[in-house]
Structure 1
Amino acid sequence: MRYEQLADLPCSITRPLVVLGDRWTLLILKEAFAGVRRFNAFQSNLGIPRSRLQDRLARLVDHEILVRQQAVDGDHVEYRLSRKGHDLYPILLAIKDWGDAHMAPDGPPVHYRHRDCAGEARVTLACDCCGERMTAHDVVPEAGPGLLAHVDAGARG
């Protein structure tokens, strides 16, 4: 199966990976959350080839994760995170938490602090009903309406 065909699978993990699943896209998002908005700043901060950056930014704009707009001063184009883009922040922090735990032998290189109390920002898995913290051992996947609709469509087609 080709990578692009994965977007058609009824899986809410697989589909986003088609859009976000390469290192450059996640690094571009990391820069965007740090306030980078201009093409040249992304390019110089990351050292990414210009054509690859153009491709990744276009994909993020096409998927409405970034919005391309004229800067307030009107001299250049900026890329800003949309609401959909802002919703990706917990994913980046979850990667950061894993990296701090497993790939930072000298301790976290950067602390992500809560502006109001200086506590550390962390991502936790919790039940949306009772609030109890969970691990992978506590989760049982079951078919949802998107999968059932896909199965029903396959049976008819």
Structure 2
Amino acid sequence: MRYEELADEPCSITRPLVVLGDRWTLVILKYSFAGVRRFNAFQSALGISRSRLQDRLDRLIEHGILVKQKAAVGVHEEYRLTPKGHDIYPILMAIRDWGDTYMAPDGPPVAYRHRDCAGEGHITFECDACGTELTARDIEAGPGLQSEASEAGRQAG
């Protein structure tokens, strides 16, 4: 299967990877959350080629994760996170938690602290019905709403 064909897979893990699965895209998003908004600031911070950076920014705009707009001050344009973009933050924090655990032998290089109490933020995975914290061993995959709707359509036809 070609990479482009993954977008057509009926899988809510695979489809987002077509948009987010590139290392530069996730790093651009990390910098966006840190307040970087201008093309030249991304380029300077990342050392990425201008064409590759523009490609990744365009893809994030195309998918409604970033929006390009005039800056409030000055004449330049900025790349701003949309609400859809802000919803990616827990994904980055889950990656950070994993990285702190398995790839930071001297301890976490950055502490992400709650502004109100200085506690550190972490991602948890829990059941939406009972609140129990879950691991992969607790999960059983089965048909989702899309599969159920397709089956109901076949039975009705």
TM-score class, shorter = over 0.9
CA distance in 2, matches of 1:136, 1:13: 14
Paired position in structure 2 for 1:83:
83
- Counterpart-to-counterpart distance in 2, 1:20 and 1:58: 13
- Which structure is richer in relative contact order (CA contacts within 8 A, separation 6 or more)? 1
**Which residue of the partner structure matches residue 67 of structure 1?**
67
Distance 1:45 1:27, change over 3 A: same
- Amino acid paired to 1:9: E
TM-score (norm 2): 0.94
- Relative to 1, partners in 2 of residues 1:34 and 1:139: Cα closer, same or farther, differing over 3 Å? same
Maintained 8 Å contact 1:4/1:18: yes
TM-score using structure 1 length: 0.94
SS where residue 142 of structure 1 aligns?
Answer: coil
Q: Secondary structure at the match of 2:73?
A: coil
Matching of residues 4-83 of structure 1 within 5 Å: 4-83=4-83
Q: Deviations over 1:19-39 (max 9, x none)?
A: 000100000000000000000
Amino acid at match of 1:36: V
Cα RMSD between the aligned structures? Answer: 1.7
Q: Which residue in 1 is equivalent to 2:122?
A: 122
Report the residue type matching 1:30 in the other structure.
Answer: K
Structure 2 portions without partners, runs of 5+: none
Identify unmatched segments of 5+ residues in structure 1. none
* Structure 2 partner of 1:105: 105
Question: 1:100, 1:108 within 8 Å by CA — same for their partners in 2?
Answer: yes
**Once structures 1 and 2 are overlaid, which stretch shifts more, 65-74 or 115-124?**
65-74
**Percent same amino acid among aligned pairs?**
68
Change in Cα spacing, 1:72 to 1:146, as seen in structure 2 (3 Å) is same
Runs of 4 or more above 4 Å deviation: 148-154
> Any idea what SS the aligned residue of 2:119 has?
coil
Residue 80 of structure 2: SS of its match in structure 1?
strand
SS at 2:68 equivalent: strand
Distance verdict in 2 for CA 1:151–1:22, change over 3 Å: farther
> How many angstroms apart in 2 are the aligned matches of 1:101 and 1:89?
18
Shift of 1:145: 1.9
The size of the alignment, in residue pairs, is 155
Given residue 94 of structure 1, which amino acid in structure 2 is its aligned partner?
A: A
